[in-house]
Amino acid sequence: GRNKVYNNQIIIDSVGGTYASYGIQCVDPLKNVDIVYNSINIRQSNSISHGNIHFAGNNSNLTEGVLVANNLLQNSAPKGEVYNINNTGYLAGITFKNNGYYTPSDTIASIGSTKYNFAGWNTVSGDQNSIVEQAQFVDPSSSLDLSDLGSLAAASPIGYVTTDIDGKARNASTPTIGAYEFVLPTPEFAAGYPYITDIKANSAKAKIKTLVNGKVFFLAKLSSEAAPSVAQVIAADSIDINKSVEKEVTIGNLNSSSEYKAYFVIKTTYGSLSGVIVISAFSTPNAPTEVSTFENVTVATGDFVDGTAQFSGFEVKPITDGQGSNNHKAAKLVRDSVSVTINNSTEGLTLTGFYFKSDTAVSLNAYKGTVRVGSRTLSATAGKWVFIDLKAFGKITTVVLKGTGNIMIDDFSGAPQPLTSTLPADTIVNENMSILLGANINGGVVPYTYSWTNAHRDTLSSTDKLNLTAQKTDVVTLVVTDAWGNTHKAKIVVTVHGTAKVATFDDLYLPAESYWWGDTVPNYKNTFYSGSYSFANSMIPLSKT
């Protein structure tokens, strides 16, 4: 019988040293041997004459009935050779045919000390139908499976080799040279791909990985629209892709708050097309709400868009009292009825509010689509900017303002300035004198609520003003709460001159079953008042010596 060496993969990487490396080495005598359908790749980097196959016989006529066929013999060493043969006589019993060769030099083989190029080798060896071609491997260091067939469908059928190294069937008429049979790849995605990620209002990203080299074409359509054809998909965006390599693509030009399906077509490097591949529907969110500051509006009057809202019936005017920094423009009503409609949602959004300044009362109506969901009257603001709450209306799409006068808005969908309140400076009054206290309140969200208390924490008033009849020295505290629950506290000491009052300390607040022995913050000083007296209190830490 014959000895058969077939369907083997041999990879020799650079290992250094001073000795030649060989994929297959044959020593005499060598008879009745088939060396067929093997793939050998030598990747040495040193300057030694490495060889894919070494025939090491030292005497003539020591081969008989040897077949070397359908092998893929690739050698990228600087002085690499496909064959190293000790003497010419050794060729007598060997048939070479239908192999695929590559070396970086002109030398294909050496016999003794003589070097042969491809033409010379064919003459001296009788090699038939072999070719010179650098193979394209999936991974030259680990897998000599072909990523591209090239001209390697040139093997000669051998009856007993019907499958390749992986068990794939050999082509019956034009099998592939080497250990791996090249099968035209099916254009398909790897398991679990594609999938959508990073969905934004106007775009989404898709992760893709295929089992082939080629291109992936992709587009997205609204779920309510008909699915595209292959031709429509391949007319859209595309990306080059390599087998088993994950890529990410961006699908753009999407509408916010919409449901889409993504469609893909794979085209292999051999021109094979997949069908249209669709993945589950995904929904884009609303576009992020942008504040309408009017700072960059170039159309002075009429209808215009700023931020994520459409304005109708306004004129953009310069201002000098804008809230916050870099605030130099606002929108003035130029019609008795104006509207603001958001453009980043058709279903409505919960909006923060806007700044408002007016010398007259204005009616506000909030709509979700065509349905009015709420209304309120905005009072004149006495020349101040106040922040109007829209959260209370829930999801809305449009705000309509109606009024006649000097009416302006600013920072639609913005945020209020921090809530602050300032009382007058501490004051001295005579006993039984009436004084009217009021605070300068800025920021926060109107309407405000008020709580005036004394040192005993008795409630003195719940309005914006406190009319106080002075009886004894006291600390008056005002707590202002805005529409969003933000609070600010201010205090004033009212010192009363008149009849002396005993310091009973019963006019101070102390929780039941508790005590207070002073502030415990080092170097912190305060004063409390009872009757007609003030008591200085401070925490002075002991010095260490």
Query: Does 401 lie in the same domain as 428?
Result: no
How distant, in Å, are the alpha carbons of 15, 32, 145, 174, 243 from that of 178? Answer: 24, 21, 9, 12, 21
Query: Using an 8 Å Cβ cutoff, are 486 and 493 in contact?
Result: no
Tens-digit pLDDT profile for residues 492-503 = 999 999 999 999
Q: What count of residues does the chain have?
A: 545
Query: Which are the contacts of 159, defined by CB distance < 8 A and separation ≥ 6?
Result: none
Query: Does 432 lie in the same domain as 371?
Result: no
- Asked whether the predicted pLDDT for residue 211 surpasses 90, the reply is yes
* 342 φ, ψ (degrees, to nearest 5): -70, 150
- Asked whether the predicted pLDDT for residue 84 surpasses 70, the reply is yes
The mean pLDDT of the chain is 92
Query: Does 450 lie in the same domain as 401?
Result: no
Check which CATH number belongs to the domain holding 339 and give it: 2.60.120.260
pLDDT tier at 518, thresholds 50, 70, 90: low
What whole-number distance in Å separates Cα of residue 390 and Cα of residue 413? Answer: 9
| Residue with token string 């993969």 | 9
Query: Does 230 lie in the same domain as 203?
Result: yes
pLDDT > 70 in the chain, percent: 95
- Asked whether the predicted pLDDT for residue 168 surpasses 80, the reply is yes
- Asked whether the predicted pLDDT for residue 545 surpasses 60, the reply is no
**pLDDT given for residue 346 in this prediction:** 87
Residue 263 lies in a domain: yes
Tens-digit pLDDT profile for residues 419-457 = 999 999 999 999 999 999 999 999 999 999 999 999 999
- Asked whether the predicted pLDDT for residue 93 surpasses 60, the reply is yes
Query: Does 314 lie in the same domain as 258?
Result: no
Residue 163 lies in a domain: no
Check which CATH number belongs to the domain holding 437 and give it: 2.60.40.10
**pLDDT given for residue 47 in this prediction:** 63
**pLDDT given for residue 298 in this prediction:** 84
DSSP state of 93: G
What whole-number distance in Å separates Cα of residue 408 and Cα of residue 413? Answer: 15
Query: Does 510 lie in the same domain as 427?
Result: yes
- Asked whether the predicted pLDDT for residue 206 surpasses 70, the reply is yes
**pLDDT given for residue 459 in this prediction:** 97
- Asked whether the predicted pLDDT for residue 481 surpasses 60, the reply is yes
Query: Does 54 lie in the same domain as 103?
Result: yes
| Residue with token string 């106007």 | 202
Segment holding 251, helix H or strand E: strand 247-251
Residues linked to residue 28 through DSSP beta bridges, in sequence order: none
Residue 166 lies in a domain: no
- Asked whether the predicted pLDDT for residue 79 surpasses 90, the reply is no
**pLDDT given for residue 184 in this prediction:** 84
Two tokens at 520? 């415990």
Mean pLDDT is lowest, of 28-32, 122-126, 273-277, 302-306, for: 28-32
**pLDDT given for residue 527 in this prediction:** 84
Residue 167 lies in a domain: no
pLDDT > 90 in the chain, percent: 78
Residue 161 lies in a domain: no
Which of the listed residues 117, 148, 179 is the one where a domain comes to its end? 148
| Residue with token string 């067929």 | 36
Which of the listed residues 115, 132, 148 is the one where a domain comes to its end? 148
- Asked whether the predicted pLDDT for residue 304 surpasses 70, the reply is yes
**pLDDT given for residue 87 in this prediction:** 86
Query: Using an 8 Å Cβ cutoff, are 358 and 381 in contact?
Result: yes
Domain, as residue range, for 327: 301-410
Residue 276 lies in a domain: yes
Segment holding 486, helix H or strand E: none
Tens-digit pLDDT profile for residues 213-266 = 899 999 999 999 999 999 999 999 999 999 899 999 999 999 888 999 999 999
Query: Does 320 lie in the same domain as 260?
Result: no
Single pTM value for the model:
0.59
Closest to 33 (Cα-Cα) out of 43, 42, 24: 24
Residue 157 lies in a domain: no
Query: Does 349 lie in the same domain as 327?
Result: yes
Query: Does 398 lie in the same domain as 318?
Result: yes
**pLDDT given for residue 129 in this prediction:** 98
In terms of Cβ atoms closer than 10 Å to its own Cβ (0-12, 13-18, 19+), residue 188 is middle
What whole-number distance in Å separates Cα of residue 226 and Cα of residue 496? Answer: 83
Domains: count for the chain: 4
Residue 135 lies in a domain: yes
**Any idea what the Cα angle at residue 219 is, between residues 218 and 223, rounded to 5°?**
135
Closest to 528 (Cα-Cα) out of 481, 489, 477: 477
Which of the listed residues 283, 316, 342 is the one where a domain comes to its end? 283
pLDDT tier at 519, thresholds 50, 70, 90: low
Name the amino acid, one letter, at 363.
Answer: S
How distant, in Å, are the alpha carbons of 6, 341, 348 from that of 375? Answer: 87, 16, 16
Query: Which are the contacts of 232, defined by CB distance < 8 A and separation ≥ 6?
Result: 219
What whole-number distance in Å separates Cα of residue 3 and Cα of residue 31? Answer: 8
Query: Does 69 lie in the same domain as 39?
Result: yes
Query: Does 315 lie in the same domain as 274?
Result: no
What whole-number distance in Å separates Cα of residue 479 and Cα of residue 488? Answer: 6
